[in-house]
Amino acid sequence: MKGTHLGEFQEIILLTILVLDDDAYGVTIKREINQRVKRSISRGALHTALTRLEEKGFITSEQAEGSPERGGRPKRYYTVSNRGIEAIQEAKALRDQLWSQIPKLRLQHPYAG
Amino acid sequence: MKDKIQTPPTFYTRLFRWFCKEDIYDELQGDLDEEFLFNTQKLGHKKARRLYQREVIKMVRPSIIKSLNTQQLPNNHTAMFKNYTLVALRNLGRNKLFSSINIIGLAISMVVGLIAIAFITEMNSYDDFHEHGSRIYRVVNTRTPLNETSDEYATTSVLTGRRLVNDFAGFEAVAPIYRGLSGDMTQGEVTITQRGIYTSNDFFKVFSFPLISGNPATALSDPYSVVLTEETAMKLYGKTDVVGEVIEYSNGDQLKVTGVAKNPPFHSHIQFDAIGSLETLITKNSTTVTSWGNMWSSYVYVLLPEGAKPENYQASLDQLAAEENAKVNHFQVAMGFEYLSDIVPGNGKYNQMYTIMPRKNVESIAILALIVVLSACFNYTNLSIARSVKRGKEVGVRKVVGARKTHLFSQFIVEAIFVAILALVIAILLFQVVRPGFLTLNPYMDRTTRLELTPVMYLYFFGFSLTIGFLAGCVPAMLMSKLKPVSILKGISTIKSSRRLDMRKVLIGLQFTLSMGFAVLVTLASKQYKFALSYDLGFDTENVLNVNVQGNDTELLKAAFLKVPEIKGVSTASMVPSTGSTNSDYARYKDPMDSTTAYTIDIDTEYLSNMGHELLVGENFRKGETKDKIIINELMAERLKIGSPAEALGQPLYYYDQSWTIIGVVRNFHHGTVNNKVEPFAFTSGRQNHSNLNLKLVSGDITSTMSKLEAAWKEVDPLHDFSATFYDDQIERTYSDISASVKTFGMLAGIAICISILGLLGMAVYTTESRLKELTIRKVLGATVSNLVLLLSKGFMPLFIISAAIAIPAAYLMFQRTIVKYAVYKINVGIWELSGGALLVIGIAFLTIGSQAAKAAKMNPAKNLRDQ
């Protein structure tokens, strides 16, 4: 399991990178997560997660020239690899399957019983 | 925003730079910057800064911070270490003067440190051989007599011990100890003098004093049984297999030997030659031994069960004390527990079982050692900083080649530790030399201390020298490793900063303050000591030999001694005045309400003339007619309002529960030490046994006289050894605390002066070396040698004046507070006593500087200027 398992936070990051398409680097990923998921994460936490994802081979990264607003410092762009896409699809399939198994009644009356 | 550039908090940026991994730093810092800018525009500067700080703090996680060993280059540790040692050695060799100053200075001060370590370790090792040591407590008393202040005693009543056994539950064992099985023990022809204790069987349960024969559970059950130590058994019987034998004790008791114990270790606060059963005392004299008030020579030790806390037993003690206090009315006793390992070093309780090193002695030695050692560390620091200019190039090259700060730091620390270890070797040799002197420093020492070097001690010493090396090398290493290669290689003169010079001056100033302070203190203390010894007591102590009578018949002894031709006179007395002990009672004349404390000794008819007391009026005691007769001093007549000496003759006096007739008045004299005033004094005769015999000798060959006296003694008492001391020596011993201070401060002053002069020498050499060109040019232009010497010494003058201004008052205050705290008669402290020591130190200092300056000034100018 270890190595292929996809944590919830990591899944969100993968999806966010896909959403951002070719503008996915530290600042944008963080901002996107803050806005869409309404979750305040630190750059440090993000770094840890990105490193982990890269180790697992779910994302690849590439250094690029910096812009003036960051003092000319380089940025690192992230893209989701094929294995990464497989992994989120697998995760989605697993959930869909589980969703389909739930009896309808429960879903219509979440507080019924 | 706008024209002002908004920057993130500098400290946090630096912090982040410091802990972040190098390879990801740029990207992360870029992200932080970009977000900071974005936040500033959106949320304002303040909020953005706060968010930035939070971000940096949250960066502290394993994936981001540097791991500890990435800082060091992996492969060449040992090689570099070898190189550091080599360079250190070369540097030591190159600057022989500096190296020897450093090493010798450190070694001298280390000796003090070593003594302190050995001494403190030894004191703390007391009583740690007991198996149940962590559970042993002593019951101690605080006694408050009616209308007086309370005192703390190490002793408690035997009654406490018995009641704790009988009436209170929960103690695993209770051992009451009664001091005083002291006296002669006889077996057949052999008689020995020994000091022992009385106790019960629980003694062996509480303490680990193993028996080599006999049963510890029953050995002390019966009255009149005794356990001997191996040593005592060997002395009495020449063997240790002696259970069942019977010994005669000097009070007539027949004691049956029921066991033989190992000798108590030296580092035990309980010492004994024999152990008698407490039952012996109780069967003989049960009421006084076990009364609540008799708490002067008995101790109670308890062994608490595993895991028990002494606080939980305090209630038992309180209850016991309350019950017993209710039965008496002239005093109250409160009891408490004292932990076994807190007994030595002692905290000032009265009635300790054996000589115990007071805690304040241990503390003061530790503090003094610390001062001296730090002072020597300053030297190293100072000289190393002074030389940093010369080492600068080496640092520069090392940095350019790739050494990091940590490498340079460790290089200089290694160098300092190297010096410290060399110093340690010398210090250990010196330690062996100083040890005997330290042990005889004061009477406490040789009875309680041995200063033996055990392997553990060597380990401590080694650790100590590592610490010293680190402390001494820390500041120079920091300064050196900070040097920037560019400024070093550009030119050395640019790295001299004034701040460093100031620190050096402060360090030298501190050293000189210490040296002067100690020097002044020694002067004062030795003056006071001489003053106390040569003090005119009002009677004659010269050539008087005091002989301990040891229970013999004084008339027989007198007759025997008078046969020796070198004896001018013999007299006897109940004790020796002016050596610390006194004897007193209230005396009154006619008015029963008007009394005064009068001191007394009991003498024979020859005493007054033998000791040179001057009888003003009246007559001496006459043999056989001494009953009710008393001779007083002038002051007593005055205090009791009897009138002039002549008027006092024939007057009655009430003293020691009887009335007396005054038959003579002597001139006032000192019966006490310099700590006592002249007091009313009275001589009686025939009231008490005389324990001391005064022999007035003709001056001459002391050794032959002594052997004759010893022979005379043996005629009367073949059993005991002749024990005699010159009166003057006894007085000297009375002031041994002052002489110990003189010796201690003398030694410390010597060491402090040595160290500071060494340091100053180093500084002087350095100053002249670095100003050599200037001096030479001055000389060429016409300056004389004395001009140059003055020029170099001038800078040190204010330093010395400030040091003296601090040291002299401090030393004077310390003299008043400690050495003559209780003295009534003390020396007049004049300007010379105060400034003498300080002037001496300044004189030596100027000689040191002057010699260096003169050396430089006398050199041929052409030689110094040629190679530039």
B565 within a domain of the structure (yes/no) = yes
Q: CA B251, CA B261: separation in Å to the nearest integer? A: 23
Tell me which residue of B320, B276, B312 sits closest to B180, measured CA to CA.
B276
Q: What is the secondary structure of B634-661 as a DSSP string? A: HHHHHHTT--SHHHHTT-EEEETTEEEE
Among all residues of chain A, which has the CA nearest to that of B65?
A: A44
Note whether B59 contacts A71, CB cutoff 8 Å. Answer: no
What number of C-beta contacts closer than 8 Å exist between A and B?
69
Among all residues of chain A, which has the CA nearest to that of B34?
A: A70
B79 within a domain of the structure (yes/no) = no
Residues B210 and B223 in one domain: yes
What's the average model confidence in pLDDT over B652-676? 85
Q: Are A76 and A62 in contact (CB under 8 A)?
A: yes
SS (H, E, C) B691-703: CEEEEEECCCCHH
Residues B458 and B328 in one domain: no
How many Cα atoms within 13 Å fall on the side-chain side of residue B243? 13
Chain A nearest C-alpha distance from B486 (Å): 27
Which pLDDT tens digit goes with each residue over B49-69?
898 988 888 888 888 887 765
B406 within a domain of the structure (yes/no) = yes
Q: Is the pLDDT of residue B1 over 60?
A: no
B113 within a domain of the structure (yes/no) = no
- Chain A residues touching residue B60 (CB < 8 angstroms): 44
Among all residues of chain B, which has the CA nearest to that of A25?
A: B31
- Chain A residues touching residue B26 (CB < 8 angstroms): 73-74
Tell me which residue of B102, B94, B98 sits closest to B765, measured CA to CA.
B98
Residues B426 and B470 in one domain: yes
Cis peptide bond prior to B485, omega within 30° of 0 = no
Q: How far apart are the first and last CA of chain B?
A: 58
Lookup: tokens for B518: 């100690």
Chain A nearest C-alpha distance from B400 (Å): 27
Determine the structural domain holding residue B24 and report its residue range.
Answer: 10-71
Could you give the 3-state DSSP secondary structure of residue B25?
A: helix
Q: CA B201, CA B220: separation in Å to the nearest integer? A: 5
SS (H, E, C) B654-716: EECCEEEEEEEEECCCCCCCCCCCCCCEEEECCCCCCCEEEEEECCCCHHHHHHHHHHHHHHH
Q: Are B405 and B482 in contact (CB under 8 A)?
A: yes
Best of A52, A61, A73 to substitute, by most chain B Cβ atoms within 10 angstroms, is A73
Note whether B30 contacts A44, CB cutoff 8 Å. Answer: no
Quote the percentage of chain B above a pLDDT of 90: 20
Among all residues of chain B, which has the CA nearest to that of A63?
A: B27
Q: Which of B733, B762, B785 is the last residue of a domain?
A: B733
What pLDDT was estimated at residue A2? 47
Out of B29, B37, B59, the one facing A69 most closely (by C-beta) is: B37
Q: Are A58 and A14 in contact (CB under 8 A)?
A: yes
Residues B718 and B658 in one domain: yes
The band of B690, judged by pLDDT with boundaries at 50, 70 and 90, is confident
Chain A nearest C-alpha distance from B51 (Å): 10
Report how many domains make up chain B.
4
Q: Is A75 on the interface with B (CB under 8 A)?
A: yes
C-alpha B753, offset from chain centre: 21
Q: Are A89 and A6 in contact (CB under 8 A)?
A: no
CATH code for the domain in which residue A60 is found: 1.10.10.10
Chain B nearest C-alpha distance from A87 (Å): 23
Best of B16, B63, B64, B65 to substitute, by most chain A Cβ atoms within 10 angstroms, is B63
Lookup: tokens for B255: 């004691």
- Chain B residues touching residue A73 (CB < 8 angstroms): 26-27, 29-30, 33
Q: Is A51 on the interface with B (CB under 8 A)?
A: yes
Q: Which of B733, B759, B776 is the last residue of a domain?
A: B733
Find the range with the poorest average confidence among A105-109, B108-112, B297-301, B830-834: A105-109
User: What's this model's pTM, rounded to 2 decimal places?
Assistant: 0.69
- Chain B residues touching residue A67 (CB < 8 angstroms): 34
Note whether A71 contacts B32, CB cutoff 8 Å. Answer: no
Q: Is the pLDDT of residue B595 over 80?
A: no
What pLDDT was estimated at residue B406? 85
Q: Is the pLDDT of residue B71 over 80?
A: no
B156 within a domain of the structure (yes/no) = yes
Residues B290 and B384 in one domain: no
CB crowding A7-21: b at 16 or more within 10 Å, else e: eebbbbbbbbbeebe
Residues B466 and B552 in one domain: no
Tell me which residue of B587, B609, B607, B608 sits closest to B596, measured CA to CA.
B587
Q: Which of B701, B733, B765 is the last residue of a domain?
A: B733
For residue B302, give every residue at least 6 positions away whose Cβ sits within 8 Å of its Cβ, in sequence order, or none.
Answer: B136, B137, B138, B139, B164, B171, B172, B173, B174, B175, B206, B313, B337
Q: Are B213 and B243 in contact (CB under 8 A)?
A: yes
The band of B5, judged by pLDDT with boundaries at 50, 70 and 90, is low
A1 within a domain of the structure (yes/no) = no
Radius of gyration of chain A (CA): 17
A2 within a domain of the structure (yes/no) = no
Among all residues of chain A, which has the CA nearest to that of B59?
A: A44
A15 within a domain of the structure (yes/no) = yes
A28 within a domain of the structure (yes/no) = yes
Residues B614 and B675 in one domain: yes
Q: CA A20, CA B79: separation in Å to the nearest integer? A: 53
Residues B668 and B598 in one domain: yes
Distances (CA, A) of A87 to A11, A52, B6, B112, B169: 9, 14, 43, 73, 74
- Chain B residues touching residue A43 (CB < 8 angstroms): 28, 31-32, 35, 55, 58-59
Which pLDDT tens digit goes with each residue over B155-201?
899 899 989 988 888 899 999 999 888 888 888 888 888 889 999 99
Which pLDDT tens digit goes with each residue over B332-380?
899 999 999 988 888 878 888 877 888 887 888 888 888 888 888 888 8
Could you give the 3-state DSSP secondary structure of residue B516?
A: helix
Quote the percentage of chain A above a pLDDT of 70: 88
Report how many domains make up chain A.
1
- Chain A residues touching residue B12 (CB < 8 angstroms): none
Q: CA B687, CA B847: separation in Å to the nearest integer? A: 66
A38 within a domain of the structure (yes/no) = yes
B176 within a domain of the structure (yes/no) = yes
Q: CA B582, CA B791: separation in Å to the nearest integer? A: 62
Note whether B33 contacts A51, CB cutoff 8 Å. Answer: no
Note whether A73 contacts B30, CB cutoff 8 Å. Answer: yes
Note whether A48 contacts B63, CB cutoff 8 Å. Answer: yes
Q: Is A42 on the interface with B (CB under 8 A)?
A: yes
Chain B nearest C-alpha distance from A39 (Å): 15
What pLDDT was estimated at residue B75? 56
Q: Is the pLDDT of residue B70 over 70?
A: no
The band of A4, judged by pLDDT with boundaries at 50, 70 and 90, is low
Tell me which residue of B347, B343, B366 sits closest to B358, measured CA to CA.
B347
B118 within a domain of the structure (yes/no) = no
Could you give the 3-state DSSP secondary structure of residue A30?
A: helix
Q: Is A26 on the interface with B (CB under 8 A)?
A: yes
Among all residues of chain A, which has the CA nearest to that of B25?
A: A73
- Chain A residues touching residue B64 (CB < 8 angstroms): 44, 47-48
Residues B443 and B460 in one domain: yes
- Chain A residues touching residue B37 (CB < 8 angstroms): 69-70
Lookup: tokens for B575: 């004790």
Residues B515 and B605 in one domain: no
Among all residues of chain A, which has the CA nearest to that of B62?
A: A48
Amino acid letter at B485? Answer: P
- Looking at residue A21, the DSSP 8-state letter turns out to be G
Residues B214 and B280 in one domain: yes
What's the average model confidence in pLDDT over B799-824? 87
Determine the structural domain holding residue A90 and report its residue range.
Answer: 8-108
B460 within a domain of the structure (yes/no) = yes
What pLDDT was estimated at residue B189? 84
What pLDDT was estimated at residue B491? 57
Which pLDDT tens digit goes with each residue over B419-451?
999 999 999 999 999 888 888 877 677 788 888
Note whether B31 contacts A26, CB cutoff 8 Å. Answer: yes
- Chain A residues touching residue B27 (CB < 8 angstroms): 26, 63, 73-76
What pLDDT was estimated at residue A105? 67
Residues B728 and B741 in one domain: no
